[in-house]
Amino acid sequence: MAKRQRRGSQRITMGEVARLANVSPSTVSLYLRRPDEVSPQRAEQIQSAIDRLGYLPNTMAGGLASSRSNVIGVLVPTITNSFFSETLETLERHLRSAGYQLLIGNTEFDVSREEELIRSILSWNPAGLVVTGFLHSRSTLSLLARTRTPIVEMWDFGQPGLDMVVGFSHHACGRLIAEHMLTSGRRRTAFVSTNFQRDVRARDRYAGFRDSVEAAGGTVELCELSGRSDASETGKLTRDLLESHPEIEAIACSNDMVALGVLFECQRQNIDIPGRLALAGFGNLDFTRSTVPPLTTIEPPRREIGQHVARLLLASLEDELAEDEKRLDLGVRLVVRESV
């Protein structure tokens, strides 16, 4: 007797509930979906039958019959990143309370993996789809063009987009940091980035930073970290950078974890921040308030993105949205502390 018998799930059906409650299945169905439309007396019978039997509705059967689902697909580059996971958490909370179930996928910054995931999610006949950014493969685009489910592109802003857009401009983030550093008198700068090849948004922040610095006659040295935001690798890279470019007086980082790595290296080498070197991150992660010195950074609207994505999605499921409601630039805030 190998192969556990996992068919015929033996689960209580709506018909059994109906029989016990002495009503028809369709009344049970109605009770479950719109309780007010059945008489109070039957409602009670039905509810007690449900409780007695421990009935759980079969979502698949319901979805098939109504040819619609309570599923919303969400694709992020990685959930192992507090940026996206906080957006996800907020999104989940708002959407679940409206009766939706999230189907989360990790694209790993890979458009062909994104395509695969979208295919898989679309096969669930989702009520909505949320993807990260504007970068999609050709066939993803045609897949998405053909579907009629509402789509939100999040965590970025500044391109046309497929349907709805909720995010902010990463180029503007880079400029914001650059201007702040320029204001404090720094011209010779470096940008230290993790995941530079895969992450378009990190590249956008770099581009914004570079554009502003160069426009002011400054220089920007780009340093790429090979893997993930490994703080120890950052140490070595920082060492090399400051050795080969002793003129550098400011370092902008692609995120706060990278900045933390740079900071520790400076502590080791007794490099004064911000005296000798200005340092800025991105993300406003919790620890940045208490580093020594506290880290200047940018606060991206992580939670707000989740909240507004949920709002737009829910609204578009109800009504057709006006064109000008479909695009939302949430902006960012420069958090000035003591490291610049």
**Partner from its own copies, DNA, none binding residue 35, C-beta < 5-8 Å depending on class:** none
Instruction: Tell me how far apart the alpha carbons of residues 268 and 256 are, in angstroms, rounded to a whole number.
Output: 18
Burial 5-44 (b: 16+ CB within 10 A, else e): eeeeeeebbbeebbebbebeeebbbbbbeeeeebeeebbe
Comparing CB distances to DNA, the nearer of 9 and 244 is: 9
Q: Draw the binding track, 231-250, toward its own copies (x: CB under 8 A; -: no contact).
A: xx-xx---------------
Comparing CB distances to its own copies, the nearer of 125 and 184 is: 125
Question: With binding defined as CB under 8 A, does residue 264 bind its own copies?
Answer: yes
Instruction: Count CA atoms closer than 13 A to 325's CA, side-chain side.
Output: 12
Sheet hosting strand 128-132, strand order edge to edge: 101-106, 71-76, 128-132, 151-154, 164-167, 327-329
Residues 6+ apart with CB under 8 A from 142: none
Q: Draw the binding track, 248-287, toward DNA (x: CB under 7 A; -: no contact).
A: ----------------------------------------
Site for its own copies in 117-156 (CB under 8 A): 119-120, 122-125, 127, 143, 146, 148
- Give kind and range of the element (H or E) at residue 333: strand 333-335
Question: With binding defined as CB under 7 A, does residue 57 bind DNA?
Answer: yes
Q: Measured from the CB of residue 211, what is the shortest distance to its own copies in angstroms?
A: 30
State which of residues 19, 47, 53, 62 lies at the interface with DNA (CB under 7 A): 62
Site for its own copies in 6-45 (CB under 8 A): 6-11
Q: Measured from the CB of residue 65, what is the shortest distance to its own copies in angstroms?
A: 9
Q: Draw the binding track, 265-284, toward its own copies (x: CB under 8 A; -: no contact).
A: x-xx----------------
Give Cα 213 distance to the centre of its chain: 29
Query: What does DSSP assign to residue 287?
Result: G
Question: With binding defined as CB under 7 A, does residue 48 bind DNA?
Answer: no
Q: DSSP string of 164-205?
A: EEEE--HHHHHHHHHHHHHHTT--EEEEEEESTTT-HHHHHH
- Residue 185 one-letter amino acid: G
Question: With binding defined as CB under 7 A, does residue 127 bind DNA?
Answer: no
Question: With binding defined as CB under 7 A, does residue 58 bind DNA?
Answer: yes
Q: What are residue 129's phi and psi, to 5 degrees?
A: -140, 135
**Partner from DNA, its own copies, none binding residue 320, C-beta < 5-8 Å depending on class:** its own copies
**Partner from DNA, its own copies, none binding residue 112, C-beta < 5-8 Å depending on class:** none
Q: What are residue 320's phi and psi, to 5 degrees?
A: -70, 130
**Partner from DNA, its own copies, none binding residue 107, C-beta < 5-8 Å depending on class:** none
Instruction: Tell me how far apart the alpha carbons of residues 109 and 245 are, in angstroms, rounded to a whole number.
Output: 31
Taking the C-alpha atoms of 222, 223, 224 and 229 in order, what is their torsion angle to the nearest 10 degrees? Answer: -120
Residue (of 127, 131, 128) closest to 117 by Cα position: 131
Question: With binding defined as CB under 7 A, does residue 65 bind DNA?
Answer: yes
State which of residues 32, 42, 57, 329 lies at the interface with its own copies (CB under 8 A): 57
Burial 120-129 (b: 16+ CB within 10 A, else e): ebbebebbbb
Question: With binding defined as CB under 7 A, does residue 5 bind DNA?
Answer: no
Site for its own copies in 317-336 (CB under 8 A): 317-320
Question: With binding defined as CB under 7 A, does residue 24 bind DNA?
Answer: yes
Q: Measured from the CB of residue 156, what is the shortest distance to its own copies in angstroms?
A: 21
Residues engaged in binding DNA (CB under 7 A)? 8-9, 11, 13-15, 22-27, 29-30, 32-33, 37-39, 41-42, 57-58, 61-62, 64-68
